[in-house]
Amino acid sequence: MPHRVTLIPGDGTGPELVAQACRAIEATGVSIEWETVEAGADVVDKYGTPLPDGVIESIERTRVALKGPVTTPIGTGFRSVNVALRQRLNLYACVRPCKYYPGIRSFYRDVDLVVVRENTEDLYAGVEFDLGSGEARRIIAMSEGKIRPDSAISIKPISETASRRIVKFAFDFAVENGRRKVTAVAKANIMKFTDGLFFRVAREVAADYAGKVEYEERLIDNMCMQLVQKPELYDVLVLPNLYGDIVSDLAAGLVGGLGVAPGANIGDSAVVFEAIHGSAPKYKGLNKVNPTALILCGVLMLRHLGATDAAQRLESATAAVIAEGKHVTYDLKPTRDDPTAVGTREMTDAIIARL
């Protein structure tokens, strides 16, 4: 029986990357029936929304999706499809492995981090009050002079429920994947209630795993410095939404940048695999960008589907092509204008040949 998987090509460079990732996944021999659905900026005229209901219905049915990046206009227009998808399917955990593959140009060699980011609340809850709105004025009045009168306001909710769920997820992930340590990251010295709650709950959860997985805490600013100075000391990191977003990109940078960093958004009833990078619209249709991140999403997806041998082969083939350094895209070459760089399709061909 083939595995049924929802496929969201996305927009910008999404469709060309997703097409190549599908080829690489299929080349492992695992039988997959793709259910392709449309989302993103390119379909607003057709459906009146960037996230048609059919997308959610399909993922609810298949429970697994592979997704290309989707453009979010800054400041105006629709809110992020990515955020909406996570909220509607309650994909509360964002898992981003950041592992160094030999051949990639980086100052760091010994990095094998997994960033676990809470995905449903914090400053991403979308509770915002514009400058001059009645709500903003009321909150400013309540703040007794702590907020300037000409402020717009975003609310940062951190709940016990979501904090407990994400920290437990991080510890379970550590146990299942043979990881030794979980580091909780926040700024509890300043945000004593919200981030203080996150650390308190994390400590409570950690107590249940004592003797199995180590636990420690870091303040977010110090964590950023430590990751730049000695990333090899860290293993699984668990963070509230916004810190998690920023630290995932930092960690991706340690191992060679956005082109090689996969991710998964995980809930109790569905999983959506997507790269950390966005739609890189300036490269749309140029067969230029790196397919590795989406192919590594395919590796995570195959593991999730139970096809561990195929996942291992696809990861090894990708690592071998990167290590050889010949058939790789511009971002993996010594200089960005290296004439020997190959395109998205040709790098995928090389990976498939290695399989």
For the annotated catalytic residues, the residue numbers are: 124, 187, 221, 245
Give how many residues touch ligand NAD by CB under 6 A: 17
Per rule CB under 6 A, is residue 94 in the interface with ligand NAD? no
Burial of 8 (0-12, 13-18, 19+ CB in 10 A): buried
Q: What is the DSSP letter of 64?
A: E
* Cβ-based nearer residue to ligand NAD, 22 or 213: 22
184, 167 contact by CB (below 8 A):
yes
State which residue, 259 or 298, has the beta carbon closest to ligand NAD: 259
Q: Which of 103, 267, 278, 325 binds ligand NAD (CB under 6 A)?
A: 278
Cβ 50 vs Cβ 279: under 8 Å: no
Which parts of the chain fold into alpha helices (H)?
14-27, 44-47, 53-62, 81-88, 134-142, 160-176, 194-207, 220-229, 241-254, 292-304, 308-324, 344-354
* Residue type, position 120, single letter: T
Residue 64, sorted as left (phi over 0), alpha (psi -120 to 50) or beta, turns out to be beta
Strand partners, 32: 3
What residue has token string 């990333």? 231
315 binds ligand NAD (CB under 6 A): no
Q: Per CB under 6 A, does 258 bind ligand NAD?
A: yes
Which residue, 258 or 321, is less far from ligand NAD as judged by CB? 258
* Phi (first) and psi of residue 259, to 5 degrees: -65, -15
Quote the CA–CA distance of 130 and 120 in Å, as a whole number. 22
Residue 343 in the binding site for ligand NAD (CB under 6 A): no
If one asks whether residue 71 binds ligand NAD (CB under 6 A), the answer comes out as yes
Binding of ligand NAD by 121 (CB under 6 A):
no
Residue whose tokens read 């795993």: 209
Is residue 289 a contact residue for ligand NAD (CB under 6 A)? yes
| Token reading at 90 | 């309650």
226 binds ligand NAD (CB under 6 A): no
One-letter identity of residue 160: E
Least distance in Å: CB of 173 to ligand NAD? 21
Q: Of the candidates 293, 296, 319, 351, which one interacts with ligand NAD according to CB under 6 A?
A: 293
Q: Phi/psi of residue 99, each to 5°?
A: -125, 140
Among 58, 62, 183, 279, binds ligand NAD (CB under 6 A): 279
Minimum gap (Å) between residue 78 Cβ and ligand NAD: 11
> Candidates 70-78, 159-167, 175-183, 226-234 — which segment interacts with ligand NAD by CB under 6 A?
70-78
- Taking residues 135 to 174 in sequence order and writing x for each that binds ligand NAD by CB under 6 A, - otherwise, the string is ----------------------------------------
Q: From the CB of 207, what's the least distance to ligand NAD, in Å? A: 35
Residues lying near ligand NAD in the complex (CB under 6 A) are found at: 69-72, 82, 258-259, 274, 277-280, 282, 289-290, 293, 331
